[in-house]
Amino acid sequence: MQLSLQARERLFGYTLLTPCLLFVIIFAFYPILYSFYLSLHKIILSLPQLGQPFSGLDNYSALFQDRIALHSLRNTLIFVFFTTVFEILLGLVIALIINRQFRGRGLVRAAVLIPWAVPTVVASQMWRFIFNDKYGLANFLLFGSDTSAYSAWLANPVTAFAAIMIADVWKTSSFAGLLILAGLQVIPEDLYEAAQIDGASRWQQFRRITLPLVKPAILIALLFRTMDAFRVFDLVFVMTQGGPADATNVLQFYGYKKIFAEGLMGYGSTISVLVFFISLLISIIYIRVIGTGLFKE
């Protein structure tokens, strides 16, 4: 039986979508479901003779009674909040600057994206050298050759946490700026010309035209950066190893230590599931905000 043109087009569409759907199922849905399965079992890699006994929600109960885990959750939330805020603000500034017409704008745009292009491990190592207490650039710029005044940035709980946030903001602000720049470039120039004719100042143009129209792009950048900040791992791994005294411990790094250092596969998977559900909840909130047009004038 010969299929109609509409049926053939629908079949062709399904054929094109099937490889993508299989890819998502294999590399996204399956790992999530398997991590949830592991979180419901007591699995100790160093004691394979115990098998994988089902433990129900025991891992989750232990997680919310684990002081280090709760401290890591607090660190993660603080890290996400401050880095995201500063990255969006700096990204907006970067986007406003490179959106203007000036000589050498292409070179400036390319230079701005260099931090984002640098691999995170390389950037982390660079910032670890910068904050080194003996030969770091930070101490040299602040104290010169007076080595007696040098500060051990990564050995102090407060400055170590600030250091990883500075490194993250430096690396990813340009990405936020790139997303916001895309929103700026779709704003019609006619609006600014009309505002100038009406006598609007630069600040009034920014507040009444630029900001309302670029808010959807800002919200998209906020969504991407928040999700990325929640899975921070390599910065902490390279720069501080969660120290000093767990001051820079974040959930992803704590889960890594539980699985690979202590062999607690089930418990470590529970931490991964917690990170996933927190990220999912925030994503849903952001998407609902975008969908309801809360950030639109």
Q: How far apart are the C-alpha atoms of 273 and 14, rounded to whole Å?
A: 31
Question: Phi/psi at 268 (nearest 5 deg)?
Answer: -65, -35
Question: Is the pLDDT at 1 greater than 70, yes or no?
Answer: no
Q: Which two tokens stand for residue 291?
A: 């969908």
Query: Per-residue pLDDT averaged across 97-116, rounded?
Result: 85
Q: What distance in Å separates the CA atoms of residue 76 and residue 252, rounded to the nearest whole number?
A: 9
* Exposure string over 75-113, b if 16+ CB within 10 A, otherwise e: bbeebbebbbebbbebbbebbbebbeeeeeeeeebeebb
Whether pTM exceeds 0.75:
yes
Q: Is residue 132 over pLDDT 60?
A: yes
Residues 6+ away with beta carbon under 8 Å from 47: 263
CA distances from residue 148 to 93, 134, 136, 140, 154 in whole angstroms, order as listed:
38, 10, 14, 11, 17
* Separation CA 84–CA 232 (nearest Å): 12
In angstroms, the Cα distances linking 229 to 80, 150, 223, 247, 250 are 5, 30, 10, 17, 10
What confidence score (pLDDT) does residue 290 get? 65
Q: Distance of alpha carbon 53 from its chain centroid, rounded? A: 35
Instruction: Say how many residues make up the chain.
Output: 297
Q: Spell out the domain ranges in the chain.
A: 65-292
Domain 65-292 has CATH 2.60.40.1180: no
Lookup: tokens for 288: 């609902």
* Region 96-116 average pLDDT: 86
pLDDT band, very low/low/confident/very high, at 87 (cuts 50, 70, 90): very high
| pLDDT at residue 297, rounded to an integer | 46
Name the nearest CA neighbour of 251 among 79, 72, 39: 72
The 10s digit of each residue's pLDDT in 232-281 is 999 999 999 998 989 999 999 999 999 999 999 999 999 999 999 998 89
> For a pLDDT cut of 70, what percent of the chain falls above it?
96
pLDDT at residue 60 above 50?
A: yes
Mean pLDDT of the chain, nearest integer = 89
